[in-house]
A and B are shown apart, each in its own frame.
Chain A
């Protein structure tokens, strides 16, 4: 029974992880940019949700929608005005730029919100499935995370914008010749990345304490998930997220919670060496 509990925890964690990584993976795959701000975007989303809940008494699962919209606008602006100007330069340049931007964002979040951990307390009760205890707030967060990931998948598959993003990902120049405004698609993609981060932050604020000092932790998880699952596709992030959730849950159970993070990084490094396209990734093609 204990194992069932560990696996259930892993799955709940994994769904949220998938949601954390999917935006990051999208930006990396389409723009070829590692967005070092992703962790801060998640925490920013978490804070906005927390304050909406504290001061305006808005349910976090409702606040998710406006928070995601705000983050989309922020991401769109950053990409359109700044990153687009250097998007085709080498990795070092784009990575350093987003790192620099992250430091600015992080600094102001730290000053504005302080580092005190905060958490939305919903207390929805718990579900008992034959000995496996599932806190209901986590269950709701899990299903919403899966739903968000699913919506993104459908949008990428069926909408005009989604198809345009995939087209740019496949061949930027050909897409430009077909009349796709590449810079706008880049901005939208980055905006969607930030939107997913913000929405995820809203979910995270219900499950974990929110504090600025964990931005790096979430960013690290996004790395690991992308490498495990494979880059730039929604299913890849989903597989990677759930895999990491299970790995962490099991490693935490057997070796203690600190080792859980180490196990994730170790598996990532091994996968990077032996199978850099990830578990289900294909190179450069969606």
Chain B
């Protein structure tokens, strides 16, 4: 019984991996999005779920990863290394910056993390010599035809999601995870009993960045064109925390459940009401906060307990 969630996750992973052999390219694209948002949600969970810091910098990491990956690739670096490079750049950026902004708490941290997205977007559109400015940046299209490319990116995103998942499981069971939970409950008390608060928070922030960077870089190669407003999207920076809140923050499986539920809802329901897309998303958020404060996962476990 204890292993059931892991079995379910393995089945879910296998199902996504089997999609190219069973379904059309459109479904492959949805499966890729499921894996991509799964990875992003797992990433945010480190800082937002375990540590309880209201971070809205997902899009900053994603966009920075996209630009770093694209620029490396355009400079002639092999695709795989370009993705890795994107992840490394973003992680270093997050670790350095985390040292400064993780001193803030609550609203101040939230605002600083949103400002990060805005600042990177402005930088990307101003620095046109490097990034192509507002016109965006073209990335070499991968050779091999749509079927092949579809598969490559599905498996890449699945790989990143799996890595993020394994990292989550490891953190969840380690001292780091314990320390982060302590910080979430009461940071001062955690500091008192000897948790190295600063280092732990920085680690959580960097962990929340590394996979976003990889996803961003892979995304840039996938769509072969990136622009500042696309890469540093405020909508993305909100969507990902909402997915985790939907699933259950601070848990191993919550982000996967939440992102899957969110993406499937988006594809099946909202796609039919394009004019009201944002309003429906807003409504989902409002309902979520009032009626599902602990996420879907809590709904199930709560039932089991009673």
Contact = CB atoms under 8 A, between A and B. Distances in A.
Contacts of B238: 96, 99
B290 A262 contact: no
Nearest to B285: A100
A82 B115 CA distance: 27
Given A85-B290, A92-B54, A273-B100, A100 B107 contact: no
Contact of A262 (B107, B119, B245, B283): B119
Contacts of A28: 107
Nearest to B53: A92
Contact of A269 (B52, B115, B123, B234): B115
B118 interface: yes
A90 B122 CA distance: 30
Interface stretch (B20-28, B138-146, B160-168, B273-281): B273-281
Contacts of B8: none
B108 A92 contact: no
Contacts of A110: 278
Interface string B155-195: 00000000000000000000000000000000000000000
Interface string A103-143: 11111101100000000000000000000000000000000
Contacts of A97: 285-286, 289
Given A34-B111, A93-B293, A261-B122, A100 B101 contact: no
B282 interface: yes
Interface of B: 48, 52, 54, 100-101, 103-104, 106-108, 110-112, 114-116, 118-119, 122-123, 125-126, 234, 238, 241-242, 245, 275-279, 281-286, 289-290, 293
A91 B293 CA distance: 13
Contacts of A104: 278-279, 282-283, 286
A90 B282 contact: no
A111 to B, nearest CB: 6
A91 B54 contact: yes
Interface in A167-187: none
Contacts of B242: 96
A95 B95 CA distance: 25
Chain A interface residue bracket vs B? 35 or more
Contacts of A32: 107
Contact of A266 (B119, B286, B289): B119
A276 B106 CA distance: 12
A261 B277 CA distance: 29
A268 B115 contact: yes
A159 interface: no
A91 B104 CA distance: 13
A248 interface: no
B104 to A, nearest CB: 6
A242 interface: no
Of B110, B123, B277, most A-chain CB atoms within 10 Å = B110
A276 B104 contact: yes
Given A34-B107, A269-B119, A276-B104, A107 B126 contact: no
A39 to B, nearest CB: 11
Contacts of A91: 54, 106-107, 110
A100 B286 CA distance: 6
A83 to B, nearest CB: 10
26 contacts: A85-B290, A86-B290, A89-B293, A92-B241, A95-B110, A96-B238, A96-B285, A96-B289, A97-B285, A99-B282, A100-B284, A100-B285, A101-B282, A103-B278, A105-B282, A107-B278, A108-B279, A110-B278, A258-B126, A262-B123, A265-B119, A269-B101, A269-B116, A272-B108, A272-B111, A272-B115
A269 B100 CA distance: 10
A272 B107 contact: no
Q: Determine the main DSSP class of A at the interface with B.
A: helix
Contacts of B293: 89, 93
A91 B119 CA distance: 22
Contacts of B101: 269, 272-273
Nearest to A105: B282
A34 B54 CA distance: 12
3 tightest CB-CB pairs across the interface, nearest first? A100-B285, A103-B282, A107-B279
A220 B111 CA distance: 9
Nearest to A259: B126
A261 B289 CA distance: 33
A82 B54 CA distance: 21
A234 interface: no
A223 B111 contact: yes
A284 interface: no
A273 B282 contact: no
Interface in A50-92: 82, 85-86, 89-92
Of A28, A82, A91, A105, most B-chain CB atoms within 10 Å = A91
Given A34-B107, A107-B276, A96 B282 contact: no
Contact of A220 (B100, B118, B283): B118
Nearest to A231: B107
Nearest to A220: B118
Contacts of B277: 107
Contacts of A258: 122, 125-126
